[in-house]
Structure 1
Amino acid sequence: MLAKLHAGVLPDEAERQHVDCKEEAGRRGAGGVLLPGKPQNLAAADQLASEVACLANTPGGGALIVGVEDSTGRFLGAALEEDWLRHRIYERVGLAPAVEAVTVDGMRLLVVYAAEAREPVEDLKGRIRWRAGGHCEPVDRAEWWLHRQNVTGHDPMAAVTDHTYLEVSPGAVAAAQRYLSSSSGPGATPRSASVRDLLNSLGVLRPDGKLSQAGALTFCPADRTYLSLSAIDVEGGDVLLPPLDLSGLSLLEQVAAVEDRLDALNTSLRLEGRQGFAVTSVRRLPEGAVREAVLNGVVHRDWMQPDPVVITWIDADSAVQVVSPGGFVGGMNAGNVLTQRYARYPALADLFRALHLVEKQGLGVDRMYRDMVTLGHRPPVLVEEEGPRVRVRLTGGRPVLPVMNLVTRIQPNIRQRDVRVALIVYTLLREPFVTAERLTGVLQRSSDETAEALEAAAECLVGDEPLLAHYKDVWVLSDAAVAALEAVADRDELRRRGVLPYIKPDITGAEAVSRKWLSIHDRYTSGDHALLTGLTTTGARGQLERLERDGLLIRGEGAGRNSHFIAGPGLKQTPDSTV
């Protein structure tokens, strides 16, 4: 393509199904005058994101040549930064294409490579398009999956069945309309749509009236229970609510029935804080987190296994546990669920996404973590067990009001929804300091990504003060953040809820803080201890001298400003622990 353009062939004559030429959006001024290019151009990112979605939907994928005038083929150049553009496209359509800079006739161009997607990709207007000849044309989900099945046949949920739309359960159609009516976004299906139109818009109906496996599973009556929900009072205790026999209902009807029962179990709590904190009502567990845990178990389970997804509500703990058949797949594990994206059955995942039951792949897990920790609850527990099976546990109860107060005061507001910031704050509520190395495991991200997350958190404010403070080679909560917590609850109440256990500690707490610091540092000063614990310098020195007398610390060489302590035999012999 580049050779043809260089030889003077017009784009319309040179373009092929898998290659397209684009001029950067936003580079024309008054009278069509070409303006200088910019390394970061949001208009161009929006334009190219939709074009990448089109190419990704096209069998075989394709490439965009950026920096070419559409009508003449003249090389205009492209100034966009490759990494910036790649990330902006990923933010918009969930795909991270390869972006490569090339030079032709001394002019810098960009080539954006889009691999063929495993599932339909919507552009910024909610459309599914693919290349037909030299242009992007609309395609419906059903046609997309039909072609996908004919070409690859690797996803059993995309396979055609003998079931027709006439076998669809009226209750499943009503449930689908209920879920779709909750969304008014692009591509929403009108409630008055016929059954055929509804199924076609969801991508599960073939031109001959046959349903895909995902469609038959979701909409046709089942001969067994797919979701088994029970409630108990305590672990190993009495059954409060036995599981129902849901056979005869479609998967979608079973999902709706389980959601309704969980909604009744997950009652609301009325909260009233101190010092003007607003009276509010919240669920014992965040509704979005509960839904994600259940639907994640349904969509990503191994459907070759006959066992149901087992859901247990533990009333005394305000907890829900979801056990789904099948282990982790696609390189995923409990340590990377925040960053890895994989669907065992892309057609089923896309159907639930089209029904607005789940978020774009993987984002729901992020929000499950965020919704839990911003209320002061523990992060979700995800483990793979023998079977194999995956168990997810959420434990809620009465939220920690000081944590809610702190989160709602974080500026800019958008960072209140950032799962990275939420997890950094959660960690610092329980540990006196963090390092980038410590956070790589918490955030499940690389060192560079963790550094970026720390920068984002460090730029946040609480009122007019920073959220975090940098001290030596570690990060701590700022005085303003601690004050926001203490404005809603006294120190004893905070400690009972596991928040700021290291502030004004007793000697046992002082030992824990010292141990944590000396696990990664050679020396510990009274100034270090004072900053981490909120004690006065005199009080901090007194605690360290007490630890010295107990044989846990040894006074190092030096006096005055060089005065410090090192780990003593007692501290070295006791295993390290998290504060």
Structure 2
Amino acid sequence: MTWAELKARLEAGQDERTLFLPSDLSPEELARHAAGLANHKGGTLFLGVSREGRVLGVSEIHPLQITHALFQLTGGLLLPYVEAVEGPEGRVLALHVPQSPAAIAVGAGRVPFWDGERLTELRMGQVLPEPDLTAQVLPAAGLSDLDPVEVLRLRRILEERGSGLAALPDLELLYALGLLERVEGQEKPTVAGLLLAGTPLALRRLLPQAEVSYYFHEGEEGYTFREDILRPIPALLERLRDLIQARNRVRYLTVGLFRLEVWDFDGEVYREALLNALVHRDWGSRDAIQVHHHRDRLEVSNPGGFPPGITPENVLRHPPKRRNPRLAEALYRLGYVERAGSGVDKMYRLLLKHGKEPPEYRLYPEALTLVLYNPELDEAFVREIAEAQERLGGFSLDHLIAAGHLRRVGEATLEELARALQLPEEAARRALARMERMGLLRREGGRYRLVRRDSLGERALGLLAQPLSRREVEGQLGLSSRAALALLNRLIREGRVERVGRGAATRYRRRG
């Protein structure tokens, strides 16, 4: 590691796989922190650095002395590769710590863990975290299994994000992303490394379960198109986007000065669904992820269920839990996912603001299917939501969920809305009370109803002071033929508009 490479790593800061320590600690404290890295995800410990990433320097201790001390203090379970890096600000030791397949204790009875911010401990006898398969190194894998073109793709992604990691040489870049480990003096790719930058041959030989099968269904009987894709994740996502977009329809709605694009399946939504399947799938299973594209729904199925404690009933509110932290961390650094686990929130928000249904989760014994529905577009509701957001300064996700639920069912009790919101009833009551004050809801007899301003209907009534044809209504309101007809029929049912004439001579006018 060069001095410039070291500075780039320090500039990136501490995280779940990077730890900064001053040199004035006891061997036991150093062993505890190094074991904490090994017990969690592995990574690099920089000795002689402040918590803020400032070089403090370290004495002329030989790297082999560090290796020997850690080996002795951990009962022979920890043997990191240690290198000295010297520059104008001093000398730093970089300890490359592999993830341990078994818990490493330092002292009697406790196992240290580094979580990215602090060192915690697990009592002996407690259940250890589920092993991260994406952090493992496959014995048959080597550097030649990584595709230089895919490594360049990762660098370009980091450059576009303005990340300091993009300045690192290839090997240091791969180490920083957790895609490479040193095993017995040799650099070897982790499973995450193969998934993000492996050659097609290596994926076929070592990780055939990385394949994703895409099916397009024109009707309900069988599929009309299929493609099996076995590529590193960035290339895989690009190909899936191309396949879906080639069959994805868009509608344009004009709201005030803005034009909204409403796709059958929003690109950000299905990308989140695909990333969730990749990050949370069981990589120990030999089964592939499947994507079934129907006109009215998109289904993404992956091996493995939710992480322990998460269910379809609490997925929106449960704190994030990652089955494959090494892969998730690399995807976070590359800008594909949020570390805070906000992907489910994003899917809900984008679906609901376009008048669609929340995602549906179907659990099976060894698999999980996420369904994104594409119902008939309710143009009036989408316009109302957009206008209300502009008028009120934005909606919270709770507002969107409650409004969407009431649009679908008409009216609901507090208990029913609390289930839709995935909130305790008291928290749901507060959210609904705020919507009442905003004029979005009204409560009658213990049931809530949506207050629809019907600005589109009011505009139509203003136009229909004189008789107009359906096509004239379409043109002046910027509606599709189907939406204009639905609006006019609703106003007729409500007794506010009447139809006069027949056939091509049919006109619509306001009553009274």
Do they fold alike, i.e. is TM over 0.5? yes
1:257 aligns with 2:257: no
1:465-508 Cα deviation digits (max 9, x unpaired): x3233445444333xx4334645789x969969xx99x969xxx
How far, CA to CA, are the matches of 2:47 and 2:432 in structure 1? 45
| Cα drift, residue 197 of structure 1 | 3.8
Which of the numbers 149, 167, 171 marks the counterpart of 2:145? Answer: 167
1:291 aligns with 2:276: no
Indicate the structure whose relative CO is greater, using CA pairs within 8 Å and at least 6 residues apart: 2
| Cα drift, residue 58 of structure 1 | 9.2
SS in 1 for 2:281: coil
Partner of 1:233: 218
| Cα drift, residue 136 of structure 1 | 2.1
Structure 1 residues 432 and 321: alpha-carbon distance in aligned structure 2, compared to 1, 3 A threshold: closer
1:505-558 Cα deviation digits (max 9, x unpaired): 9xxxxxxxxxxxxxxxxxxxxxxxxxxxxxxxxxxxxxxxxxxxxxxxxxxxxx
| Cα drift, residue 310 of structure 1 | 0.6
| Cα drift, residue 320 of structure 1 | 1.4
How far, CA to CA, are the matches of 1:148 and 1:395 in structure 2? 43
Residues 90-489 of structure 1 mapped to structure 2, 5 A cutoff: 136-138=51-53, 146=98, 154-162=131-139, 163-177=141-155, 179-180=157-158, 183-184=161-162, 187=163, 189-190=165-166, 193-206=168-181, 209-221=187-199, 222-223=203-204, 224=208, 226-239=211-224, 241-244=225-228, 246-247=229-230, 249-271=231-253, 278-314=258-294, 316-317=295-296, 319-340=297-318, 341-386=320-365, 388-396=366-374, 399-411=377-389, 416=394, 418-458=396-436, 461=438, 466-471=439-444, 473-478=446-451, 481-484=452-455, 486-487=457-458
Structure 1 residues 397 and 412: alpha-carbon distance in aligned structure 2, compared to 1, 3 A threshold: closer
Query: Matched residues, percent identical?
Result: 23
Aligned residues of 2:353 and 2:386 also touching (Cα < 8 A): no
Partner of 1:563: none
Q: Report the residue type matching 1:409 in the other structure.
A: E
| Cα drift, residue 442 of structure 1 | 0.3
TM-score by length of structure 1 reads 0.54
Aligned residues of 1:403 and 1:485 also touching (Cα < 8 A): no
How far, CA to CA, are the matches of 2:409 and 2:332 in structure 1? 38
SS in 2 for 1:383: strand
How far, CA to CA, are the matches of 1:116 and 1:455 in structure 2? 47
Structure 1 residues 433 and 129: alpha-carbon distance in aligned structure 2, compared to 1, 3 A threshold: farther
SS in 1 for 2:349: helix
How far, CA to CA, are the matches of 1:269 and 1:488 in structure 2? 21
Structure 1 residues 504 and 136: alpha-carbon distance in aligned structure 2, compared to 1, 3 A threshold: farther
1:22-57 Cα deviation digits (max 9, x unpaired): xxxxxxxxxxxxxxxxxxxxxxxxxxxxxxx97988
TM-score by length of structure 2 reads 0.60
Gaps of 5+ in 2: 1-12, 20-35, 55-93, 105-128, 462-481, 496-512
Gaps of 5+ in 1: 1-52, 60-114, 121-127, 506-579
SS in 1 for 2:298: strand
Select between 195-204 and 349-358 the one with higher mean Cα deviation: 195-204
